[in-house]
Amino acid sequence: MKDLRQSQTLPMSRAAIQSAVERVWSAYQVDLTKKIDIVRITEWEVKDKFHIVSEDELRDYEALTETQTGDMYMREDIYVRACNGEPRARFTMGHELAHFCLHKNQDQNKRLARDGFGAPPIRYLQPGQKILCIYDPEWQASAFSGEMLMPAMHIRHMTIEEIILQYGVSRSAARYQKMRVT
């Protein structure tokens, strides 16, 4: 299993990430005025590729998505915490859903990506090599999770406290997302 923290992919602007999020919302007719049910959405989207595994099996990771096969491995304790509405675990789930939606099936999607469709290919970095955030699959995944859990059109006129309460996110995630939309 390769670590996406050492890779780069085709660039995605925040607008492109927002479009990807909107496709998921509309596919599952998500009510954006309520707390986003990220656990159910992820299970619907990932289906039988969603695996709950023990801590021993994942070791250093909370969750991992195998981009070649689309299999998503979620640590049991993170899954339980996400089901219980714990903000950080909910964000982790959104982040992992992003890898599934944006980065899976890299090789077979290379041609489609060139034509402007499908997931972009992943390239692995040399040690120490730095890239702009828009090329970084980890930045893309966290941006997707923020957009998914905190709909811009609704949080624009909300305070940080209101965002935390209404959307079940951490203070730092709410602050970051609020900066993005105002």
52 vs 160, beta carbon nearer Zn ion: 52
Distance, CA of 102 to chain centre: 9
Do 173 and 146 form a contact (C-beta atoms < 8 A)?
yes
Least distance from C-beta 158 to Zn ion, angstroms?
A: 27
Least distance from C-beta 165 to Zn ion, angstroms?
A: 27
Least distance from C-beta 154 to Zn ion, angstroms?
A: 26
Residues 6 or more apart from 38 whose CB is under 8 A from it? 82, 90, 93, 94, 97, 148, 149
Q: Output the CA torsion sign for 42, 47, 53, 57.
A: negative
82 vs 141, beta carbon nearer Zn ion: 141
Pinpoint the alpha helices (H) of 28-170: 38-46, 55-58, 76-83, 87-98, 110-114, 137-149, 152-155, 160-167
122 vs 155, beta carbon nearer Zn ion: 122
Least distance from C-beta 5 to Zn ion, angstroms?
A: 7
145 vs 177, beta carbon nearer Zn ion: 145
1 vs 32, beta carbon nearer Zn ion: 1
- Which residues make up the interface to Zn ion (CB under 5 A)? 138, 141
Type of residue found at 85:
G
Least distance from C-beta 2 to Zn ion, angstroms?
A: 11
